[in-house]
Structure 1
Amino acid sequence: MYGLLLPVGQVASTFFAWSKILGSYERVLGAILYRLIFTVLFVMCFYWIPETPYQSYTKHGSVEAAEILQRLRSSDAENIQIELNLLRSVAGNDLDTQREATLKEIITTPQKHFLCVVVTFSLLMGRGFSNVLAFSDKILLEAGISQDVVTPTSMGAFFLSALASAGAIIAMRKYDCRTLMIVSDIFIVLSHALMTASIQTSKQIPGMSWGAFAALYLFMAAFGVITTATFALLGVLCVDRTRSLCLLIGGAGFWFLAWFVGFISPYLAVWIQGYAFLIWMGTTVLSMVHFSLFVPMTKGKTENEIQTFFRK
């Protein structure tokens, strides 16, 4: 759901930050206000979000785990008992394997799936998204797009990203998340190359401004797919006792890179001008290498089969 709300927020924040709406251009402020609304809603709804059946079983026992299974599954008693027996077999009787992992454990005995989740989560923002979100209008102006249409063009690209995110939800029923991410990264590399060429040649070849238009739309569509696939993938790469720590540290890396990309982009535009997109092209290629070599296929796989990949 977050993977879908993120691109929807891009459209909303760009619209409300449009100078014709509020009289000033502050897209970052618009994005912050939009996310604040959903943060407040999440906190308000947090009371009704249950623990996972596994967490409830290891902390409170089978009775409460059965109650949560009933709330989540609405199954009959027989199916609830079957799933409860599966929880018992997974958790075992060893209390040390039931409790959540600590940061000290992760640091002293690094686990491959933990590193995989942290890198995957962090690299989501390493493709240059914050640069596009905050400075898409300026980028399009540099490529020769008219001042009157740059903001509507950006909103259209962000809306396309929302549609792509919704499409990714459907595509994941048939295709593995890793496959979708690698294919989308190929399109992001192409978009960065096209944007670089458009910015560098638009003054000599006016028609190349349309290349920047196409590059923006291509990037946002591919990023919409990657965002949804990433959030779907993260949960299945973890095991229950490390999931909260994996997502906590991975989320910290995610937001740090989101800030860093937005912070460094204006300086790159000054230092290397239109070639700044080649930096994000390079990080995207690194992401493709990471997915190809260190992320397992997960569709149709059990947790044990996925973790076997990390034990090799």
Structure 2
Amino acid sequence: MVTTKTYRNEFIAVIAIYANLVLVGIDNILLYSDKVFIEAGLAPDQATFATIGVFTLQLLSSAVGSKLVDRFGGFKVHVTANVMIIIAHVTYTVSQVVTPIAPTAMPYIAIFAVGLFLVAWSGGTNLASFALLGEITREPTRATAYGFAAVFFWAIAWVVGFVPPYLQIYLGAYALTIWLGCAVLFLIYVIVVIPRILRTRHLEDENQISTEMKSLNEKA
């Protein structure tokens, strides 16, 4: 699979899309949401209610996101979701930096940022990724690409799950910037590379159909 350029490009794209699911900071939010809110200035009891609220919003966004993927396709929803994730990370980071100036208002800005992130990831990135994977892969190599990418995905997810507390200790208000950087890189990759793979796939499918039709006409 990796010796053929077309299949190799698809394989790399599959790994990138899987990695995008984890390396935009989802574990940082899902596993440490209460801690994130407490660091943002909320009291522990308020942080728990804030977590319940944004997680409920996350659930609702999944239902809406599936309709958006059906209507606009995986690529557009994926790009839009990554842009929203970038905005969420920037908003949260700014809220943390500015907290000493406006300690009362900034915790609510942080809640908004986390809510926006979860809506974008659950209703966009998570759903659009699998639609996009189906669009860029083909039957002969799809199972193999998914299998290797899944191993890579779970390995990353396991490692990344331990990282957030250390980011908070060493980076403080800038703890989410590493995920912000990853989100920007994945956004650029998807915008630049995925359309090329889709065009190549469509051209090859058209050529195959044309060849099959020509063969049928000759037999007739």
- Aligned equivalent of 1:196, options 86, 93, 99: 93
1:243 maps onto 2:142 in alignment: yes
The residue number in structure 1 matching 2:172 is 273
Match of 2:191 among 292, 303, 310: 292
Matched position secondary structure for 2:56: helix
Counterparts of 1:293 and 1:302 in 2: how far apart (Å)?
12
* Partner residue, 1:218: 116
Q: CA RMSD in A?
A: 2.2
The answer to whether the 8 A contact 2:136-2:201 is kept is: no
Deviation, 1:268, is 1.3
Post-superposition CA distance 1:104-159 (Å, at most 9, x none): xx344452111111111122111000011111101101111121121221122122
Query: Equivalent residues in 2 for 1:1-312 (5 A)?
Result: 106-109=1-4, 111-206=8-103, 207-224=105-122, 225-296=124-195, 304-305=201-202
Question: TM-score, structure 1 length as denominator?
Answer: 0.60
| Equivalent residues of 2:84, 2:117 under 8 A apart | yes
Q: Distance in 2 between matches of 1:286 and 1:234?
A: 18
Instruction: Tell me the CA shift for residue 307 of structure 1.
Output: 5.5
Provide closer, same or farther for how the CA distance between residues 145 and 292 of structure 1 changes in structure 2, counting only shifts above 3 A. same
Deviations 1:227-281 (A, max 9, x none): 0111222123211111111111111222222222221211111111120111111
Give the conservation status (yes or no) of the 8 Å contact 1:180–1:229.
yes
**Distance in structure 2 (CA, Å) of the matches to 1:107 and 1:302:** 19
Paired-residue identity, %: 29
Letter in 2 for 1:211: I
How far residue 306 of structure 1 moved from its aligned partner, in angstroms, is 6.8
Task: Give the C-alpha shift of residue 202 in structure 1.
Answer: 2.1
Q: Which ranges in structure 1 are unaligned for 5 or more consecutive residues?
A: 1-105
Alpha carbons 1:121, 1:234 under 8 Å: kept: no
Alpha-carbon distance in 2 for matches of 1:200, 1:260: 27
In the alignment, the residues of structure 2 paired with residue 235 and residue 249 of structure 1 have an alpha-carbon distance, to the nearest angstrom, of: 16
Q: Indicate conservation of the 8 Å contact 2:69/2:127, yes or no.
A: no
1:137–1:150 CA contact under 8 A, matched in 2: yes
Confirm or deny: 8 A CA contact 2:2 2:11 kept in the other structure: no
Matched residue count? 201
Aligned residue type for 1:150: A
- After TM superposition, give the deviation of residue 297 of structure 1 in Å: 8.6
Q: Note the alpha carbon deviations across 1:52-72, whole angstroms, 9 max, x for none.
A: xxxxxxxxxxxxxxxxxxxxx
User: How far off is 1:205 after superposition?
Assistant: 1.2
Aligned equivalents of 1:306, 1:191: Cα separation in 2: 37
Choose between structure 1 and 2 for higher RCO, CA contacts under 8 A separated by at least 6 residues: 2
Structure 2 residues without counterparts, runs of 5 or longer:
206-220
Aligned-partner residue type, residue 295 of structure 1 = I
Question: 2:73, 2:131 within 8 Å by CA — same for their partners in 1?
Answer: no
Aligned to 1:26: none
Q: How does the TM-score come out when normalised to structure 2?
A: 0.84
Distance 1:158 1:205 in 2: 26
- Rounded Cα–Cα distance in structure 1 between residues aligned with 2:126 and 2:30: 14
Counterpart-to-counterpart distance in 2, 1:240 and 1:147? 50
User: Aligned with 1:174: secondary structure?
Assistant: helix
Choose 1 or 2 for highest CA Rg.
1
Q: Distance in 2 between matches of 1:162 and 1:233?
A: 21
